A and B are shown apart, each in its own frame.
Chain A
């Protein structure tokens, strides 16, 4: 511990959000610094790197108007912490964790580092509780469970936000929805998207906390906002036994911010200019979802990703897919057919589905039905390609049946517009469609 605050006026360089200070005697990694500049500019920053007496600081907030001569930098000897209290529920904050709703800051009952600590793998409880989203393509075929991280892979122009709003309005755990809250993290959103989401949030019955970084807000805050949100999530989930749904949109903006900052630090770029450590960085966010043994709460995470160029092998969706427990993939083709939600179930996957369905959780025949629907639809889609070559008339009768099944499956099972289906409705619908084509097999 240092006895007093250290102040320096030895700025050597400023580049974007990065500040270099020289002749510093004491500093620690992650230490919070306060920067006071001309015209009453006051900013906060965090120490990134120490090279002898040269310190590299990452600044939060607008750096326009700073100069190297008039800066006073105060080293606080503390690590960046998030204030926490139950009163946080219902509030809105910006990416520097300042209130956005015009109300004063709440009184913190506790402070915790924003970076968090990794959950000890032996402390984890395996996710196995079903969450009903009201969407057949998810509930029936790619079931979401409590403690899972399940991203939505969207493409530019697809109705990801409508899908998310639908999930927000309908998501419920089978029991105990009283302890349920949503944490909404907006990263680089346009005003249009932001107001859409805010409307959706205000229309839901669940309580929520929002952390908002708009498209024109500082890029650096985009990296902090999800960490604040997850620290709040951990506090509410594991200290107050709440079930928390963390919704992050759009992770593509987060990754671009990471690339931008890293580039300013002159780090070596990797694939498509993204850093080699992006996997670990994303994991440090996604892996904070889960359940632990000594708490009843849970953190479930739905990150939204807009795949650049609709390319699922792009580093952002690719690295995400390697960390998350599956993915919900939206399809441009289905969207053009007017299907909502346009979920392509073939590349979609929920890795934890097997744990969350079946007797006592959903329905005994769930697994079997899901497999049959999937298998027949996959065959039907495969045959569509053949149809393009040989024409429908050239195909066997059984193949024509599967073709029709695929169409009906898309139009009646996947497509549900604003309708909400309970899991029972979803399963009934599925078996009814299979039955209509004489494809239903009773294995039970």
Chain B
């Protein structure tokens, strides 16, 4: 590790600071000012460096010290992350509460994990075994999980000694013959994707329990869905409902630039709700990364990287992980604010021109992988988008449309008629439906696809009949068209709409199938009848 160096502040504009400190590297972590605010190097010039400060810069003064740390902004990974709530820089909010009270003051809070907590460690390798990056050397019992401890990617050798029984995280668990120590935790630079052996194409669905998603617009494990919607269309409720019920091992929820009251509600619910798969509180499988809209903007930009790095870590341990981010637009706005304070040339709507490439490399971090230890792990993403004025032609939605596999468009008209989830069935799509067709066929029902197509057909027919009906009234329609309208109405209100506050919040694929079948059966029967009647009349 490089020696830490000292310099001083020469300019401050918003959260952007210039220092005369030289010898820094790009994206190196720095401490800024008398209160050691966390910052990152964003640009290097001949004799100066430009820093982004991740906390409220008010009170920061000219000539105050700047210190480089020789490492980049990193996420700490290890046991003890689950059920904790972090801010965008991965500082535990409970620990912050203890330190600064109900209001967050800019202070330096070094440790993310609890290094004094005792864990029980069970080794899986013996002295003399050869190990390489990704190999599981043992596991720690953490709530409902066995948390595997893996050799960091850059280490390998023969095991010289290995611990067993009660340990804390600051003790080494394993020593290799080259003298390197393996701890139960590691640090990973948040902007760099974690390594894996190879990427596999998405397979198997993430069952969200939302009928309209699972049945019409499914999400594959390792895939990405985006949920754009204007305000009041229920993005947050949909994300939170999915976070509660999705059939994954680990949920990472990033509350990025959204409301504080919503987060307090979420926390309370997650503490009390029980995960039916493990019978433990939902919180035990969840990590929350929370940077509400009034918390520092730059930390908001970092928060989704913290979240995705956490997600990749659990993926590397062989888990199926779902990352929910609410909302990516707030991240993009933070990026825009930072970019404009760096006086970069703005692109569309003031966003920096690298918005699309940043977004696509972020979305690319999702996927199903064969981990370094040969397990299969996956990271799926559901990202909400808040387009200004509910206008989907804006840059963030457009950039995400190019990379995401499923588009769940939230519709203000549906939301205003209190139809939730307000996903528009005409405009939304999922590119995963063909990949997943076999899964649903083999695991749920043979005619999954047949019924899905029939359901779609009815909804399309309704759309085209609607205009006619507005003029002639339902009485003016032909009998079979009237049937379409009645059945479509039934599909909308009994099948596609789902109340997030009742037991209906989660619907098993089997039940989804039964429900749609009973409606489409009614349709087919009706069709036969009208056809039959038609024949009688001609007779």
Contacts and interface: CB of A to CB of B under 8 A. Distances in A.
A271 B336 CA distance: 13
Given A238-B102, A374-B418, A396 B474 contact: yes
Nearest to B339: A276
B143 interface: no
Contacts of B388: 271, 313, 315, 318-319
Interface stretch (B243-251, B258-266, B374-382): B258-266
A294 B102 CA distance: 8
A280 interface: yes
B59 A313 contact: no
A338 B325 CA distance: 45
Interface stretch (A22-30, A180-188, A213-221, A422-430): A22-30
A354 B389 CA distance: 26
B96 A120 contact: yes
Contacts of B47: none
B297 A280 contact: yes
Contact of A127 (B12, B56, B261, B290): B261
B268 A318 contact: no
A394 interface: yes
A321 B229 CA distance: 12
A7 B101 CA distance: 37
B93 interface: yes
A143 B386 CA distance: 25
Contacts of A296: none
Contacts of A267: 340
B340 A268 contact: yes
A125 B264 contact: yes
Contacts of B61: 26-29, 31
B97 A124 contact: no
Contacts of B330: 279
A271 B58 CA distance: 27
B391 A313 contact: yes
Q: Which of B58, B60, B349 counts the most A-chain CB atoms under 10 A from its CB?
A: B58
Contact of B103 (A116, A325, A346, A371): A116
Contacts of B104: 117-120
A354 B294 contact: no
Contacts of B333: 276-277, 279-280
B390 interface: yes
Contact of A395 (B63, B96, B297, B473): B473
A51 interface: yes
Interface string B16-52: 0000000000000000000000000000000000000
Contacts of B386: 322
Contacts of B391: 313
Given A122-B93, A125-B264, A325 B58 contact: no
B27 to A, nearest CB: 23
Interface string A47-70: 001111000000000000000000
A123 B101 CA distance: 8
Contact of B62 (A26, A117, A395): A26
Given A277-B337, A396-B474, A123 B58 contact: no
B232 interface: yes
Nearest to A278: B333
Given A270-B350, A313-B391, A375-B418, A318 B102 contact: no
Given A27-B61, A318-B231, A354 B501 contact: yes
B151 interface: no
A294 B101 CA distance: 9
A378 interface: yes
A261 interface: no
Contacts of B346: 268
The A contact surface, by secondary structure, is: mixed
A344 B346 CA distance: 39
A326 interface: yes
B463 interface: no
Contact of B93 (A121, A280, A290, A349): A121
Contacts of B102: 119-120, 123, 238, 292-295
A321 B62 CA distance: 38
A222 interface: no
A347 B11 CA distance: 47
B537 interface: no
Contacts of B105: 117
B13 interface: yes
B260 A394 contact: no
A346 B416 contact: yes
B292 interface: yes
Given A118-B295, A120-B93, A396-B475, A29 B260 contact: no
B65 interface: no
Contacts of A29: 12, 57-61
A284 B12 contact: no
A313 B340 CA distance: 24
A277 B341 CA distance: 11
Interface in B402-449: 416-418
Contacts of B212: none
Nearest to B94: A122
B1 interface: no
Interface string A234-274: 00001000000000000000000000000000011011000
A385 B322 CA distance: 44
B340 A50 contact: no
Nearest to B268: A126
Interface string A6-33: 0000000000000000001111111100
Interface string A313-339: 111001101110111000000000000
CB-CB nearest 5 A-B residue pairs: A283-B293, A313-B389, A28-B61, A287-B294, A124-B264
Given A120-B97, A295-B102, 6 more contacts: A122-B93, A287-B259, A322-B231, A323-B293, A325-B259, A352-B261
Interface of A: 24-31, 49-52, 79, 113, 115-127, 147-148, 238, 267-268, 270-271, 276-277, 279-280, 283-284, 287-288, 290, 292-295, 313-315, 318-319, 321-323, 325-327, 346-347, 349, 351-352, 354-355, 371, 374-375, 378, 385-386, 389-390, 394-396
27 contacts: A25-B62, A27-B61, A28-B61, A31-B59, A116-B103, A118-B295, A119-B102, A120-B96, A120-B100, A120-B104, A121-B267, A122-B97, A124-B261, A124-B263, A148-B261, A271-B388, A279-B257, A279-B333, A280-B297, A294-B101, A322-B386, A323-B293, A371-B418, A374-B418, A386-B470, A390-B471, A396-B475
